[in-house]
Amino acid sequence: MTLRARRLAPLALLAAGLGAIGCAHRVHDFSLVSTRPLALDGVDLDARPARRVAAEDGLWFFLFFPLGGSVQPPEVIERALDEHGADLLLDAEVWRTAWTALLVSRVGVRVEGDAVTLEEDR
């Protein structure tokens, strides 16, 4: 490796590091969330078994131009319920995520919560 290449290598690594950034922040906390009509009269949610689940969706960008549609939190909540056969999520959190690596970016929504099924046979 030449002297010039040795001097440019740290600068190239620094530029790549500064060009690749990301973040995530929590935008909502829900005690109970569902996208379905539910009858909760006389239901003891604490007695129901729950498992922690998550679902995520994102949108890619190239040079600030989106490569697809939009990402909506209700759609991600519905995906989490469908994938795990649940009726509702307890103690749910909705996160917004984003990262950029030079010309390519991705923004997304992540939903985490305790999945609960109201019907016994599911």
> 10-28: per-residue pLDDT in tens?
777 766 666 678 889 999 9
Strands of 39-120, DSSP E: 50-62, 65-66, 88-101, 104-116
Residue 91: what are its φ and ψ, rounded to 5°? 50, 50
User: What does pLDDT average to over the chain?
Assistant: 87
Domain map of the chain by residue range?
21-116
- Give the pTM: 0.76
What local confidence, expressed as pLDDT, does residue 8 receive?
A: 76
pLDDT at 68 over 70: yes
Confidence of residue 121 (pLDDT cuts 50, 70, 90): very low
